[in-house]
C-alpha cells in the first residue's frame, strides 16, 4: 500500500516509490526501489524535498522503524518471492535488446505526440517527456552498447522523431564519459530530447526533400532553433538549459554556427554536447536525400572538422562510442567482414566483432564472435566499412547484435 511520509522519516528497509516533486528535481535514476544503503538514504535526506511515497507492503512502514532497529536480523522485503534484483547482475544481451526495442517504440510515440502538440500550439506534456527521458537514461546506463544501437535504429521516414530519441541517448552516454553526475546526465538527456522541436514548424516536404536545398529553403530550415526556443519559452515548466540546447545546438566553437554565431566558452556545456551528438546521429542515419554513413567513417570525418566542435568534448565522445562505434562494419585481414557489437575500453582499436562472410546475394554465413583484444592473433582490422557499409547496412541489426555477448 502506498503511503506518503516525510523524507526525513525515510530509513533503510523502506520501499521507496518516488518523491512528491518533479522527476528532474530528485536525485535518483529510478523511481521505485528498496532502500538498502546509506548513500541512497543520505541523498534522499539531502534532496531538500519535503515528502515522498513508500510501499508498506514491500518494505518497512514508519511504525516498524523502532521494531526493525531492535532486531539483529538483516532487513528483508515482505515479499520474499519477488526479491530486489542485484544491480550488478546484467541481463542477457537479447533481453536488453528486446527491452530497448520496446522502449524505442514508446519513445517514438512520445516524440510524435510532442511534435504534434507543438504544431497545434499546445503546451508540452513535460511529465511525459521527462518520464521517457528517464527510461532512456536508465537503459543507456544499464547497457550502453545495446541500448545505443537499438535506440538509434531508424528508417528514413522515422528520422524526425527517432533522431530526438537517439540524441537524448547519446547525450546521456557522453555525459557519463565526461564525469557528469546523474542529475546532469538527466538534464543533458532532456535537452537532447527537446533539441529539435522547432522542426515541428518546418514544412514536412521541406524536411524530407530528396534533392539539394536551395539557399532560400536552407534559410527556412535554419530557423528551427529559434522557432523551437520560442515555443519552449511559452512553457514555464521547460528548464532554461533545455531551451538553451534547443536554441544553440547548431553553434560552432569558431563562431561560424547559427543562429547567434556564439564562440567557444559562450556556448553552454549541454549545447556543445548536443552539437556533437546531433551531427553524429544525422550523419549515420538514412535520409531521403542521402545514405547513412558508416559510424566509423562519420567519427573519422568529424575529427577533421576544425573549429566545429569542442575538441576535448569530441575526444570524450570518441571514447564513449569507440573508434569503431557499435554498428560499424569493418574489413578484416582474413577477408571477412566484422560488425562491431561491443567496445573494449582497454583498447578502442580492438572491439568485439560478429565476423561473417557474405555471398553475391548478400546472404551471411560463417558467423562467429571474435574479441580482438582477447585474441589479437586471430584477425586484424585493416579498413573501415567504406563502400561495404552501403552494401551491408541493410542487414537485420537485431540478428547481428543478438549474440549472447554480455554488455
pLDDT tens-place string over residues 308-337 = 999 999 999 999 998 888 878 888 999 888
Domains contained in the chain, number: 3
Residue 151, SS3 per DSSP: helix
Domain assignment of residue 88, yes or no: no
> Helices 295-302 & 311-321, crossing angle to 10 degrees?
160
Query: Which domain range does residue 387 map to?
Result: 329-401
The single residue listed with the C-alpha cell 528520422 is 159
Q: What's the rounded Cα separation, in Å, for the pair 162 and 193?
A: 9
Domain assignment of residue 211, yes or no: yes
- Which pLDDT band holds residue 219 (cuts at 50, 70, 90)? very high
**Do 265 and 158 lie in a common domain?**
yes
What rounded mean pLDDT belongs to the chain? 83
**Do 227 and 107 lie in a common domain?**
yes
What are the DSSP calls for 7-23, one per residue?
Answer: GGG--TT-EEEEESS-G
The phi and psi torsions of 332 (rounded to 5 degrees) equal: -110, 155
The single residue listed with the C-alpha cell 527517432 is 162
Q: What's the rounded Cα separation, in Å, for the pair 341 and 194?
A: 29
DSSP letter for 4, please: E
CA 67 to chain CA mean position, Å: 43
User: What's the confidence (pLDDT) of residue 22?
Assistant: 56
User: What's the confidence (pLDDT) of residue 345?
Assistant: 82
Give the residue from 267, 242, 244 showing the smallest Cα distance to 254. Answer: 267
Whether 195 contacts 164, CB under 8 Å: yes
| Residues contacting 13, CB < 8 A, separation 6+ | 34, 35, 36, 59, 60, 64, 68, 75
| Domain boundary residue, one of 302, 321, 340 | 321
**Do 205 and 135 lie in a common domain?**
yes
pLDDT tens digit sequence for 35-64: 887 777 887 887 788 888 888 888 899 875
User: What's the confidence (pLDDT) of residue 398?
Assistant: 42
Domain assignment of residue 231, yes or no: yes
**Do 289 and 372 lie in a common domain?**
no
Domain assignment of residue 406, yes or no: no
Average pLDDT over residues 96-124: 90
**Do 19 and 104 lie in a common domain?**
no
Amino acid at each position: 500500500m502506498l503511503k506518503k511520509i516525510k523524507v526525513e522519516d525515510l530509513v533503510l528497509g523502506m520501499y521507496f516509490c518516488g518523491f512528491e516533486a518533479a522527476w528532474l528535481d530528485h536525485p535518483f535514476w529510478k523511481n521505485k526501489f528498496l532502500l538498502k544503503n546509506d548513500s541512497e538514504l543520505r541523498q534522499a535526506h539531502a534532496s531538500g524535498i519535503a515528502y515522498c511515497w513508500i510501499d508498506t507492503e514491500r518494505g518497512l512502514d514508519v511504525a516498524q522503524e523502532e521494531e526493525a532497529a531492535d532486531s539483529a536480523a538483516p532487513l528483508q522485503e515482505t515479499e520474499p518471492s519477488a526479491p530486489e534484483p542485484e544491480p550488478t547482475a546484467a541481463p542477457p544481451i537479447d533481453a536488453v535488446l528486446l527491452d530497448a526495442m520496446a522502449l524505442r517504440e514508446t519513445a517514438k510515440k512520445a516524440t510524435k505526440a510532442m511534435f504534434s502538440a507543438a504544431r497545434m500550439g499546445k503546451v508540452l506534456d513535460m511529465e511525459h517527456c521527462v518520464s521517457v527521458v528517464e527510461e532512456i537514461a536508465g537503459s543507456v546506463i544499464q547497457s550502453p552498447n545495446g541500448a545505443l544501437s537499438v535506440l538509434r535504429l531508424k528508417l528514413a521516414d522515422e528520422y524526425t522523431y527517432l533522431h530526438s530519441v537517439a540524441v537524448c541517448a547519446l547525450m546521456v552516454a557522453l555525459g557519463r564519459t565526461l564525469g557528469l553526475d546523474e542529475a546532469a546526465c538527466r538534464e543533458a538527456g532532456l535537452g537532447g530530447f527537446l533539441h529539435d522541436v522547432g522542426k515541428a514548424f518546418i514544412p514536412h516536404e521541406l524536411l524530407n526533400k530528396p534533392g539539394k536545398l536551395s539557399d532560400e529553403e536552407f534559410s527556412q530550415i535554419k530557423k528551427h532553433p529559434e522557432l523551437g526556443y520560442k515555443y519552449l519559452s511559452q512553457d514555464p515548466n521547460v528548464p532554461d538549459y533545455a531551451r538553451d540546447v534547443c536554441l544553440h545546438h547548431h553553434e560552432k566553437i569558431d563562431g561560424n554556427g547559427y543562429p547567434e554565431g556564439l564562440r567557444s566558452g559562450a556556448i553552454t556545456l549541454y549545447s556543445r554536447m548536443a552539437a556533437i551528438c546531433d551531427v553524429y546521429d544525422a550523419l549515420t542515419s538514412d535520409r531521403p536525400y542521402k545514405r547513412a554513413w558508416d559510424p566509423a567513417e562519420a567519427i573519422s570525418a568529424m575529427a577533421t572538422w576544425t573549429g566545429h566542435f569542442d575538441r576535448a568534448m569530441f575526444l570524450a565522445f570518441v571514447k564513449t562510442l569507440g573508434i569503431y562505434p557499435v554498428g560499424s562494419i569493418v574489413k578484416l585481414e582474413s577477408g571477412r567482414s566484422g560488425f562491431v557489437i561491443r567496445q573494449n575500453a582497454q583498447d578502442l582499436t580492438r572491439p568485439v566483432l560478429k565476423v561473417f562472410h557474405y555471398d553475391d546475394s548478400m546472404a551471411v554465413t560463417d558467423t562467429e564472435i571474435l574479441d580482438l583484444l582477447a585474441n589479437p592473433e586471430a584477425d586484424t582490422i585493416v579498413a573501415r566499412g567504406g563502400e561495404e557499409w552501403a552494401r551491408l547496412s541493410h542487414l537485420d541489426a537485431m540478428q547481428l547484435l543478438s549474440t549472447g555477448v554480455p554488455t
